[in-house]
Amino acid sequence: MPEQKSEYDVLVIGGGIAGEEAALNLANIGYKVILVEKDISIGGKMIHLSKVFPTLDCAACITTPKVSETARHPNISILTNSEVKDIEKHSESNFSAVLIEKPRYVTEDCTGCQICEEKCPVVVNDQYQWDLVGRKAVYIPFSIANPRIAVIDIENCILCGLCEKVCPANAIDFTQEEKQTEIKIKSIIIATGYDLFDPELMPRYGFGKYKNVVTSMQMERQLVPTRPYNTVLRPKDGKMPDNIAYVLCTGSRDETIGNPICSQVCCMYSVKQAQLLMGALPMADVTIYYIHIRAFGKGFCEFYQQSKGMGVEFIKGKVGTIKENENGNLVVRYEDIEEGKVKEAEHDLVVLSVGILANTDFTTMFKNIKIGQDNFNYVKQTDELTNPAKTTIEGVFVAGTASGPMDIPDSILSAGAASAETASYLRRTNNEK
Ligand SMILES: Cc1cc2nc3c(=O)[nH]c(=O)nc-3n(C[C@H](O)[C@H](O)[C@H](O)COP(=O)(O)OP(=O)(O)OC[C@H]3O[C@@H](n4cnc5c(N)ncnc54)[C@H](O)[C@@H]3O)c2cc1C
Ligand code: SF4
Ligand code: SF4
């Protein structure tokens, strides 16, 4: 990794697909970029996905080369496990920011051998498998993590020292402390992505209470080649499901939970998962409860029709409650919108197609300037139609889902716009020819 300096042309905040794309575009034309990622690996949500709609290309095959190109680029410095605070604007193209690098308790001498993981006696929920299985207190989050350096989850570590004893590279270092560095930058791109709706906030769907009610991200993990189980299973009893339901718009288009807007990707990712399930479990029935199917992109409608042809059942119905039976099956009570009747149906696994929410971290990053927030809590674009990459601060741009729900191709396009605007701002303010 290039040496950390204190001056850069661009600070990119967030290392998902949008942040990587923006950083690469600018680095490729010679600008020095620092990319700061909160998580312990770059890659964002895309690294968690199985395949992508509507082409069903493997998500990891698209994102892994992008991750390694970003990590190896000589003009990009990366800080993971880190956050940004106290951004100040001093004059045009003259910002400062404080970077906080949290300790990993493992040095860069780590070879990624995972011997420490085998020996560590602590098992906690693995957030990278969306809590479907456990992980150790010292761990590498996933096989294609970048950097591939272990980290100790100090909150759950019992300080037994076993990892330190077995590490062949002597890489465990419990003396590491948080580091703060001040940097100077000329421009900033916010690419902090989105948060997922927490379905426990809708107790009527039973998530957290009934183990066979899972989220769409948990289903993504069950459909990837590196899945936690060998096949798709019900978490409660390990039985292979044969009658799976999807509840669309969980946490989207719902004033009662404060998110009135459409998440734009849930219809299509549910159709994608339904098709993948039909391949993984050919005997299974898949039913999708929907209010409207939003299949607005190129090839999306054809993809939706294709799933109907494959046997996926679509019910225009609003789900009211989900209750568990004594056999672990789930009774879905819904309003059949076409017939105007309240009905019930039994399924053995329910997937909640959870919506996308704004990640509001950006609101606390700035010190002497205030950044605009739109009515839905995303980064405010100065003009959504004509200047979608510009924020309310000159020299600060936005890329990807930090400005609103969008799919991967649109996040990449948005990152292209943000990097073009940034390059144009730098050329103008640096008086470059
Ligand atoms: C279940 C599911 C399935 C999906 N399937 C598809 C699909 O098949 N096809 C498709 O096109 N789209 C799909 N999507 C949508 C896709 O995930 C997004 O379009 C894409 O991930 C957006 O990329 P992003 O970089 O904007 O955000 P993210 O992927 O959210 O990346 C943001 C990055 O910023 C980091 N970050 C956050 N806060 C900070 C901070 N304060 N400081 C530093 N870093 C920070 C995060 O850790 C993360 O690495 C799916 C979404 C879901 C939920
Ligand atoms: S910390 Fe040591 S034992 Fe653990 S993965 Fe790294 S090199 Fe291997
Ligand atoms: S010291 Fe902590 S991380 Fe290391 S083996 Fe013991 S519990 Fe696991």
Distance 387 CA to ligand 3 centre (A): 50
The one-letter amino acid at 416:
G
Scan for tokens 């600070």, then name that residue.
11
- Ligand 2 centroid – CA 115 distance (Å): 6
- Look at residue 365 and tell me whether its pLDDT is greater than 80: yes
Position 209 in a domain: yes
d(CA 179, CA 184): 17
pLDDT of 306 strictly over 90:
yes
pLDDT-derived band at 415 (thresholds 50, 70, 90) equals very high
Which atom of ligand 3 has the smallest separation from the CA of 138? 3
Closest residue (by CA) to atom 51 of ligand 1? Answer: 265
- Report the relative pairing of strands 82-91 and 94-101 from DSSP bridges: antiparallel
**Region 131-149 average pLDDT:** 95
pLDDT(420) > 70: yes
| Ligand 1 center from residue 120 Cα (angstroms) | 31
Task: Give the C-alpha separation, 57 to 51, whole Å.
Answer: 5
Is residue 19 domain-shared with residue 150, that is, in the same domain?
no
Helical H runs in 257-313?
266-280, 300-310
State the pLDDT at residue 433: 65
Q: Whose CA is nearest to atom 30 of ligand 1?
A: 193
Residue 110 belongs to some domain of the structure: no
Q: What is the pLDDT of residues 307-336, one digit of tens each?
A: 999 999 999 999 999 999 999 999 999 999
Q: How far is CA 348 from CA 310, 317, 332, 343, in A?
A: 20, 18, 10, 17
Q: Is 246 helix (H, G, I), strand (E, B) or coil?
A: strand
Instruction: Provide the token pair at 140.
Output: 């590498």
pLDDT at 432 over 80: no
Q: Which residues pair with 112 in a beta bridge?
A: none
Give per-residue pLDDT as tens, 380-401. Answer: 999 888 999 999 999 999 999 9
Clarify whether residues 189 and 44 are in a common domain.
yes
Asked if pLDDT for residue 220 goes beyond 80, the answer is yes
- Ligand 2 neighbours, Cβ below 6 Å, are 106, 110-116, 150, 167, 169, 171-172
Residue ranges making up the domain that contains 129:
115-166
**Whether 41 contacts 80, CB under 8 Å:** yes
* Ligand 3 atom showing the smallest separation from residue 119 Cα: 5
Please check whether residues 333 and 364 belong to one and the same domain: no
User: How far apart (Å, rounded) are the C-alpha atoms in residues 353 and 269?
Assistant: 8
Q: Whose CA is nearest to atom 4 of ligand 2?
A: 116
Judge if 326 and 210 occupy the same domain: yes
**Residue 16 shares a structural domain with residue 151:** no
Residue whose CB lies within 8 A of the most ligand 2 atoms, among 40, 104, 106, 139, for a mutation test: 106
Q: Which ligand is nearest to the CA of 79?
A: 1
Q: Does residue 14 belong to any structural domain of this protein? A: yes
Contact 418, 22 (CB under 8 A): yes
Same domain? 232 vs 268: yes
**Is residue 385 domain-resident?**
yes
Which of 331, 356, 381 finishes a domain? 356
DSSP string, 70-112: HHH-TTEEEE-SEEEEEEEEEETTEEEEEEEEPP-SB-TT---
CATH of the domain at 21: 3.50.50.60
Binning the chain into helix, strand and coil, the percentages to the nearest 5 are: 25, 30, 45
**Does residue 302 lie within any of the structural domains?**
yes
Say if residue 95 is in the same domain as residue 216: no
| Shortest-distance Cα residue to atom 13 of ligand 1 | 407
Atom 4 of ligand 3: nearest residue by CA position: 163
Q: pLDDT-derived band of residue 1, with 50, 70 and 90 as boundaries?
A: very low
Residues ≥6 apart with Cβ < 8 Å to 69? 20, 24
Residue 223 clears pLDDT 70, i.e. is over it: yes
Q: Which of 293, 321, 356 is the last residue of a domain?
A: 356
**Phi, psi of 175, rounded to the nearest 5 degrees:** -90, -5
Query: Hey, which residues does 179 pair with through a beta bridge?
Result: 101
Structure letter (DSSP) for residue 26: H
* Ligand 2 atom closest to Cα of residue 140: 5
SS3 of residue 264 by DSSP: coil
* Residue 70 vs residues 77, 79, 145, 406: alpha-carbon distances, Å: 9, 12, 13, 22
Residue 213 and residue 301 in one domain = yes
| Same domain, yes or no: 341 and 201 | yes
Residues 262 and 136 in one domain: no
Global confidence as pTM = 0.96
Same domain, 208 and 311: yes
Lowest mean pLDDT among 94-98, 195-199, 381-385, 397-401: 381-385
Which numbered atom of ligand 3 lies nearest the CA of 105? 3
Cβ pair 156, 137 in contact under 8 A: yes
**Under a CB-based contact definition with an 8 Å cutoff, are residues 240 and 318 in contact?**
no
Ligand 3 centre and the CA of 142: distance in Å?
19
One domain for residues 92 and 136: no
- Kindly state if the Cβ of 194 falls inside 6 Å of ligand 1: yes
- For residues 178 and 159, give the distance between their C-alpha atoms in angstroms, rounded to a whole number: 18
The answer to whether 54 and 155 have CB atoms below 8 angstroms apart is: no
* Within-domain flag for 107: no
Give the whole-angstrom CA distance, residue 427 versus residue 420: 11
Question: Which ligand has an atom closest to residue 153 CA?
Answer: 3
Ligand nearest to the CA of 220: 1
Q: 331 C-alpha vs ligand 2 centroid, how far in Å?
A: 47
Report in angstroms the alpha-carbon separations of 125 from 40, 251, 314.
16, 24, 34
| Nearest ligand (C-alpha, residue 152) | 3
pLDDT at 2: 41
Supply the DSSP symbol for 384.
Answer: T
Tell me how far the alpha carbon of residue 348 lies from the centroid of ligand 1, in angstroms.
29
Question: Is 127 in a helix, a strand, or coil?
Answer: helix
Residues 6+ apart with CB under 8 A from 49: 59, 60, 220, 224
